[in-house]
Amino acid sequence: MNFVTPEIAWAPLTPILIVLGAAAAAVLIEAFIKTPATRRLVQLTVTIGALAVALGMVVVQWVGLGDSAGTVVMTGKITVDAQSLAWQAMLLVFGILAALLFAARTADGEESFTSLGSVPPGSTEERLARRAGLQVTEVYALLLFAVGGMMLFTCITDLIFLFVALELFSLPLYIMVALARRRRLLSQEAALKYFLLGAFSSAIYLFGAALVYGSTTQIDMESIGIAIDFIPSNDAMLLAGAVMVVVGLMFKIGAVPFHSWVPDVYQGAPTPVTAFMGAATKAAATAALVRVMYLAFYPLEWELSWMFWAVAIASMVVGTVVALVQTDVKRMLAYSAVAHAGFILVAFAGLTPEALTALPFYLLTYGLATIGSFAVISQVRERAEDGGVAAEAVRLGQWAGLGRRSPLLAGAMALFLLSFAGIPLTAGFIGKFEVFSAAVAGGAWPLVLIAVLASAVAAFFYVRLIVLMFFTDVPEGAQDTVAVENDLLTRIVIIVTAAATVLLGIVPSGVLNVLQDAAVFLVSAG
């Protein structure tokens, strides 16, 4: 056996290298800057700077693409093509918005993250750490690692390296979930659940990839797609492997029956982290699932379609029905996220080329509304007995009369909810329309029928919250129990996401045209 040095075209990886390099630098900053306040400022600047520069590099590459579909960075391992650049740009935007939310503070100067993650909640050490003004600024480094891993996740064409990237973005998320400042027991419990189920799903994914390797002798997606044509499609090992790979990715998307972590993690995690992972994890996992299905498993489309149908229907029905009975805002949005996972999977019916445009657009509109709505949630707080600001007010009843307290927040929240529901003139409508037409083009009209019905039912619980905010009076004697925060960074995020949601709903053609150009995969193997 002789070893051939692989040829690597580094240039297209620049954005990813910038983000991961900044992450490594952020770890060093942790070690060298002692004062928490300075460190926070430096970390925030480095994080947003790196993400913005990387976004610029992605745009430069996109412009430089011209008519070519992209570059094969390393044969069979990494391919940066138009589709992957579109996802990378989206993830970077989500990352910048999330970084702003991470830095947000309440009027009392309180951050969303605990002052020291290792001390037990309610202990003397915790009080000491808080008094010393400690801050967990590592979250910025973790955010950069997560974004870098997700960007890598969208351009890898090899099942095993996909696993490495999967863990690269999952591990920082597990830690960030455990770092909430308020309700820390809840946060740690959510982290444990997320970790165990996430590791379980990665193991299923990995075993599936190993079985696919065993049955096709190939590990890069294009060669797998070619090799599958030469083996009987009822090969049990191949089918088991393909199903396990898809199950592993569906876990990350949060589709039923692999959704059990979603509500707990959405509820327990610090709200900025929920906003980030709700938007970005779904986008990254969808991007990888698209690549796996279109490059590797398209010859198995018929064999796997039953699974996509069953999971999509189950997600839409369970997500919608369970969301109806929730009394916690974050949990309600979590089940709405499960239903949206179903809508995402609808687009996979038939593996049409239309879905390659529809999915990035859907995930963009969904992600913006998710970040925006959780940003609003982080601003609605309970008032402590001493008059200070306490934890977030997440019970539905506490949102009564928010429209009078803060028309801006309530209006933005209403906009995001309408976008989730897919009401015309919001971005969510165009997203749903694109996804459903892709599925119809794939001949899956019964699936689309169910999806439209589920959307109609889902509109009920979104509208219920809107009614609660605008048309319900604050209960007698409860006027002073809720405080509305007025943090500048969070306001910026809310305004940007709200504006984008409206713009994409009224004039989506610009972005849609760009994404139409992105609907190509670079296929290198002959």
Partner 1 sequence: MTAMSFVYLAAILFAIGAAAVLLRRNAIVAFMGVELMLNAANLVLVAFSRMYGELDGQIMAFFVMVVAAAEVVVGLAIIIALFRARQTISLDEPAELKG
Min dist CB 171 to partner 1, Å, is 5
Among 95, 268, 272, 422, binds partner 1 (CB under 8 A): 268
Min dist CB 129 to partner 1, Å, is 14
Query: Taking contact as CB under 8 A, which single stretch among the options 117-125, 246-254, 310-318, 429-437 is the one that binds partner 1?
Result: 117-125
Choice between 264 and 392, CB closer to partner 1: 264
Neighbours of 437 (CB within 10 A): 16
Q: Does 196 bind partner 1 (CB under 8 A)?
A: yes
Min dist CB 380 to partner 1, Å, is 21
Q: Does 207 bind partner 1 (CB under 8 A)?
A: yes
70's enclosing H/E stretch is strand 70-74
Choice between 204 and 430, CB closer to partner 1: 204
Min dist CB 331 to partner 1, Å, is 7
Burial (Cβ within 10 Å: 0-12, 13-18, ≥19) of residue 327 = exposed
Choice between 167 and 235, CB closer to partner 1: 167
Site size with partner 1, rule: CB under 8 A = 46
Among 43, 47, 61, 188, binds partner 1 (CB under 8 A): 188
Q: Does 380 bind partner 1 (CB under 8 A)?
A: no
Residues 153-172 within binding reach of partner 1 (CB under 8 A):
160-161, 163-164, 167, 171
Nearest of 480, 470, 485, 326 to residue 391 by alpha carbon? 485
Burial (Cβ within 10 Å: 0-12, 13-18, ≥19) of residue 328 = middle
Choice between 5 and 66, CB closer to partner 1: 5
Q: Does 63 bind partner 1 (CB under 8 A)?
A: no
Min dist CB 479 to partner 1, Å, is 29
Min dist CB 151 to partner 1, Å, is 18
User: What does DSSP say about strands 380-383 and 482-484: parallel, antiparallel, or unpaired?
Assistant: antiparallel
Q: Does 203 bind partner 1 (CB under 8 A)?
A: yes
Q: How far from 526 is each of 109, 184, 219, 227, 522, CA to CA, in Å?
A: 59, 54, 16, 12, 12
Cis-peptide, bond into residue 263, ω within 30° of zero: no
Q: Does 217 bind partner 1 (CB under 8 A)?
A: yes
CB 391 within 8 A of CB 381: yes
Q: Does 236 bind partner 1 (CB under 8 A)?
A: no
Contacts of 470 (CB under 8 A, 6+ apart): 403, 410, 414
Q: Does 178 bind partner 1 (CB under 8 A)?
A: yes
Q: How far from 11 is each of 8, 14, 15, 264, 443, CA to CA, in Å?
A: 9, 6, 9, 40, 40
Q: Does 332 bind partner 1 (CB under 8 A)?
A: no
- Sheet strands (E) in 149-296: none
Min dist CB 174 to partner 1, Å, is 5
Among 130, 193, 383, 405, binds partner 1 (CB under 8 A): 193
Among 6, 56, 64, 120, binds partner 1 (CB under 8 A): 120
Choice between 161 and 361, CB closer to partner 1: 161
Which amino acid, one-letter code, is at 420?
F
Choice between 202 and 472, CB closer to partner 1: 202
Q: What are phi and psi of 327, to 5 degrees?
A: -115, 0
166 token code pair:
């999967």
Give dist(CA 400, CA 407) in Å, integer: 13
Give dist(CA 313, CA 339) in Å, integer: 9
Query: Taking contact as CB under 8 A, which single stretch among the options 40-48, 50-58, 195-203, 228-236 is the one that binds partner 1?
Result: 195-203
Give dist(CA 431, CA 436) in Å, integer: 9
Among 27, 199, 408, 495, binds partner 1 (CB under 8 A): 199
Q: Is 443 left (phi over 0), alpha (psi -120 to 50) or beta?
A: left
Among 211, 250, 339, 435, binds partner 1 (CB under 8 A): 211
The Cβ-side half-sphere exposure at 134, using a 13 Å CA radius, reads 17
Choice between 5 and 476, CB closer to partner 1: 5
Nearest of 324, 333, 338, 344 to residue 447 by alpha carbon? 344
Q: Does 219 bind partner 1 (CB under 8 A)?
A: yes
Min dist CB 223 to partner 1, Å, is 11
Contacts of 96 (CB under 8 A, 6+ apart): 48, 51, 52, 55
Min dist CB 182 to partner 1, Å, is 13
Min dist CB 497 to partner 1, Å, is 27
Min dist CB 30 to partner 1, Å, is 16
Q: Does 184 bind partner 1 (CB under 8 A)?
A: yes
Give dist(CA 130, CA 141) in Å, integer: 21
Q: Does 507 bind partner 1 (CB under 8 A)?
A: no
DSSP labels for 469-487?
Answer: HHHSPPPTT-TTSEEE---
Nearest of 371, 391, 355 to residue 276 by alpha carbon? 371
**Contact set with partner 1 (CB under 8 A):** 1, 117-121, 160-161, 163-164, 167, 171, 174-175, 178, 184-186, 188-193, 195-196, 199-200, 202-204, 206-207, 209-211, 213-214, 217, 219, 263-264, 267-268, 326, 331
